[in-house]
Amino acid sequence: MTQKEGYVAIRGARQHNLKDVSLDIPRDALVVFTGVSGSGKSSLAFGTLYAEAQRRYLESVSPYARRLFHQMPIPEVDQIDGLPPAVALQQQRGSGTTRSSVGSVTTLSNLLRMLYSRAGDYPKGQSILYAEAFSTNTPEGACPECHGLGKVYDVTEKSMVPDDTLTIRERAIAAWPTAWQGQNLRDILTTMGYDVDVPWKELSKKDRDWILFTKEQPQVPVYPGYDREEVQRAIKQKIEPSYMGTFTGAQRYVLHTFANTQSTLMKKRVSQYMLSSDCPSCHGKRLRRESLSVTFAGFDIADMSRLPLKQLLTIFKPYSDGSAPGLAKQATNHQEKVLVAQRIAEDLVARVTVLLELGLGYLSLERSTPTLSPGEHQRLRLAAQVRSNLFGVVYVLDEPSAGLHPADTEALLKALDGLKACGNSLFVVEHELDVIRHAEWIVDVGPDAGEGGGEILYSGPPEGLKNIERSKTRAHLFNDQPFIKPTPRQPFGWLTLKDVSRNNLTHLDVSFPLGVLTSVTGVSGSGKSSLVSQVLVELMSDFLGNTTPSEDQFEDALQQDTVATLTGGITDGAEHIKRMVVVNQKPIGRTPRSNLATYTGLFDVVRKLFAATELSKSRRYTAGRFSFNVGKGRCPNCEGEGFVMVELLFLPSVYAPCPVCSGTRYNAQTLEVTYHDKNIAQVLKMTVNEAADFFEKEDRVLRSLNVLQEVGLGYLRLGQPATELSGGEAQRIKLATELQRMSRGKTLYILDEPTTGLHPTDVEKLQLQLAKLVDAGNTVIVVEHDMQVVAGSDWVIDIGPGAGDEGGKIVTEGIPEAVAKNKESKTAVYLRRTFN
């Protein structure tokens, strides 16, 4: 083949499951890669094209700079010609831990600080402040009282001593450390003459205050196990003490630990004994008084950062086009200031407009990124690119429509068109049919997942796909079969919530039908997650008595600094629910130690099979031997991680395969044991599909594997580390884990966009699984944008009509056909199409 002008020519691509494929794809066009999950789309778009572009770029930079990049493995491909430099916009895998906000990711906060510094309204007599003075992260800006946290934390006697009938020995001071350190403090008090065996409330106020609140740290001799008299005698007789102990008051201990500990668990422990309130000096705005005294359009910078982006646009537009009232008058005295305001306002307006077009107008600059969905995060980064004025690059995107209502998808397509109009190429991995229809070129990979895929079924303009019989995408793209409505199911009761308020929901009354499948719909930012994933989940877990927050929830709270307020409650129907299962897109683990096989419980059974082999029995190996988490069986060098962490000076540390076990995680003796000629590491390397053949006679293993296949995960490897899974994959693993223990009934399942990452063919499989849950007597509530799922559900609750302040209400609810007829609902238009 010779290379065509204006095309990228790929020859002999063999990355992952790709079967030595060759194809030409056009530049300066929107190219969409389609195919069922696991067919090889990402292996081609990211693993081959993007990886090669990155490799070429990195060859041109110094080895030192190269280490700064998250390097992709070198792709298996013979040759690629005509490839422009590439920028990848992938969905974040795992959760980011860095503290950042919408303002910092988009760099809009920098602009705003410049604006306040140079063009803000200063009170009479106040000198001009530098831009840094408007940042909560600098000493020039941070409120000195709360150090820029916006909150002050304090403790009271009641918060640290919850039960004052206990003695100090009985741990009256609950806030104190436990174990040795707690005993040490008690022994110190004994030496100092305090009675640690009377109820706390019988101690004098003076003593109680000193023990809790003193800032002094006296050093005293400690005689563990002695009582007060014995200690006094020992001191008189000059008996050598065990050691000298240093006292720390409870308040000091709690506040110091909270501020300084690196351990989330410790922070969590001490925070139980603290009370937090808005800082009295800055009222939660985190900045110095002087900084807050500067305003623009009547807002201080903190209030401005709390406004939805949509409103920022309304505020800045008049400054960018010169129509703001009073501008002319001001221009005569402060011409420079007016010019600066106009220049910065123009830039702000341009950037915010892009964010609005991408359907993110409901976000505020202050919103912290850990509270954003992966789809929102990807679109924020996309917006930054649209404004970057780059040209001649190829953008490689991973399912940009994730989390988008069909109405928002139209805006996304406009933004992509904008990037293309600037002279760029777009390679997009996508399942959403509206995006696929918008493509100028389709590369369909398949026909199936893993080994069954990896072929290029089609590469050309969309119409041509019509003729490709083996394509699974074809049937959905050119679907002319009528929609077959499943027989609607009747609810056996209603779960009623009254007067709930959270984020943009205010005094909302809502009822969810029990024993059926309900879809909650609405444009992004309308309040679906606030209602379902926040309010409903919190109220139900209260009702079910799961009062201890999970590690997840706790980390979220820490990252958000604030606990959102919730009013209202469940008034009826909760008694029909015995258990709640939330299947969300949060990672299933944060280290490579958890993986698909361990999470689903499948690995326990596999380990037993290995322990039952002749060799294991002769060597007395138990199932524990085959765990990479315990001492005997695992590789001693990497302690079963398979990877070793390499610390780099000044850089984030990276994982590299362990040189001793070559990443197998086990020691040589363990690997000598085989089951049907495979050792345990080889089993972990199998895909779910391969394992299903391998374990076809082992019912218990097979059952788990089959469920994983049914949710479209047959292409994943059993040992696939949790850290490599996308949010959608993590969610489907949780779903599969639930499905295998299913069918007790009376369970409420809550799913947040379960179709993320799924080809329409896989969506059908998912629908069957959801139906199974309902048929077993359970209630299923999904937040969903996929109209196929919405149309197939028993009940629809449409939230909106718009996003943020313009949403938060129930626009309409009912059976799908009824909702489709509603005039106000933005969902109705798209739902109607499904029925035609």
Q: Which does 450 bind (CB under 5 to 8 A by kind): Zn ion, ligand ADP, none?
A: ligand ADP
**279, 413, 602, 811: which one binds Zn ion (CB under 5 A):** 279
Q: Are strands 275-278 and 151-154 parallel, antiparallel or unpaired?
A: antiparallel
**DSSP 8-state code for residue 533:** I
Stretch that binds Zn ion, among 24-32, 301-309, 651-659, 730-738 (CB under 5 A): 651-659
Stretch that binds Zn ion, among 3-11, 416-424, 634-642, 823-831 (CB under 5 A): 634-642
Cβ 712 to ligand ADP, closest distance in Å? 9
Q: Which does 800 bind (CB under 5 to 8 A by kind): ligand ADP, Zn ion, none?
A: none
Residues that bind ligand ADP (CB under 6 A): 16-17, 35, 37-43, 362-363, 367, 371, 429, 449-450, 503-504, 522, 524-530, 564, 687, 715-716, 804
**Residue 217 vs 560, nearer CB to Zn ion:** 560
Cβ 135 to Zn ion, closest distance in Å? 14
Distance CA 197, CA 471 (A): 78
Q: Which does 371 bind (CB under 5 to 8 A by kind): Zn ion, ligand ADP, none?
A: ligand ADP
Tokens 């934390």 appear where?
A: 153
Strand partners, 278: 151
711 within 8 A of 739, measured Cβ to Cβ: yes
Distance CA 812, CA 830 (A): 15
Contacts 24+ apart (CB under 8 A), 724-729: 724/93, 725/93, 725/587, 725/588, 725/596, 726/91, 726/93, 726/756, 726/757, 727/91, 727/93, 727/374, 727/585, 727/586, 727/587, 727/756, 727/757, 728/402, 728/585, 728/754, 728/756, 728/757, 728/758, 729/757
Cβ 301 to Zn ion, closest distance in Å? 14
Tokens of 737: 């884990």
Nearest to 74, CA basis, from 93, 92, 91, 59: 59
Q: Which does 626 bind (CB under 5 to 8 A by kind): ligand ADP, Zn ion, none?
A: none
User: What is the dihedral sign for C-alpha 368, 370, 373, 378?
Assistant: positive
Which 557-596 positions form the footprint of Zn ion (CB under 5 A)? Answer: none
**13, 635, 718, 803: which one binds Zn ion (CB under 5 A):** 635
Count of CB atoms situated within 10 Å of the CB of 33: 30
**Residue 16 vs 288, nearer CB to ligand ADP:** 16
Cβ 817 to ligand ADP, closest distance in Å? 23
Distance CA 601, CA 652 (A): 32
**178, 637, 669, 743: which one binds Zn ion (CB under 5 A):** 637
**Does 112 participate in binding Zn ion (rule CB under 5 A)?**
no
Cβ 799 to ligand ADP, closest distance in Å? 6
**Residue 638 vs 705, nearer CB to Zn ion:** 638
**307, 468, 654, 660: which one binds Zn ion (CB under 5 A):** 660
Tokens of 551: 């590690």
**Residue 249 vs 450, nearer CB to ligand ADP:** 450
**Residue 302 vs 345, nearer CB to Zn ion:** 302
Beta strand residue intervals within 566-672, DSSP E: 567-572, 579-583, 643-648, 651-657
**Residue 428 vs 517, nearer CB to ligand ADP:** 428
**324, 505, 588, 661: which one binds Zn ion (CB under 5 A):** 661
Cβ 291 to Zn ion, closest distance in Å? 11
Q: Is 271 exposed, middle or buried (0-12, 13-18, 19+ CB in 10 A)?
A: middle
Tokens of 304: 């401005």
The phi and psi torsions of 675 (rounded to 5 degrees) equal: -120, 120
x-marked contacts with Zn ion along 131-150 as a string, rule CB under 5 A:
------------x-xx----
Distance CA 98, CA 340 (A): 32
**Residue 99 vs 158, nearer CB to ligand ADP:** 99
CA 209 to chain CA mean position, Å: 43
Cβ 658 to Zn ion, closest distance in Å? 3
Total length of the chain:
836
SS3 782: strand
**Residue 147 vs 317, nearer CB to Zn ion:** 147
Stretch that binds Zn ion, among 99-107, 111-119, 280-288, 295-303 (CB under 5 A): 280-288
**Residue 221 vs 657, nearer CB to Zn ion:** 657
**Residue 704 vs 723, nearer CB to ligand ADP:** 723
Q: Which does 658 bind (CB under 5 to 8 A by kind): ligand ADP, Zn ion, none?
A: Zn ion
245 within 8 A of 222, measured Cβ to Cβ: yes
Distance CA 86, CA 49 (A): 8
Cβ 415 to ligand ADP, closest distance in Å? 18
SS3 780: strand
**Residue 510 vs 638, nearer CB to Zn ion:** 638
**Residue 806 vs 817, nearer CB to ligand ADP:** 806
**Does 304 participate in binding Zn ion (rule CB under 5 A)?**
no
Q: Are strands 517-521 and 795-800 parallel, antiparallel or unpaired?
A: parallel
User: Which residues sit at the interface with Zn ion, rule CB under 5 A?
Assistant: 143, 145-146, 279, 281-282, 635, 637-638, 658, 660-661
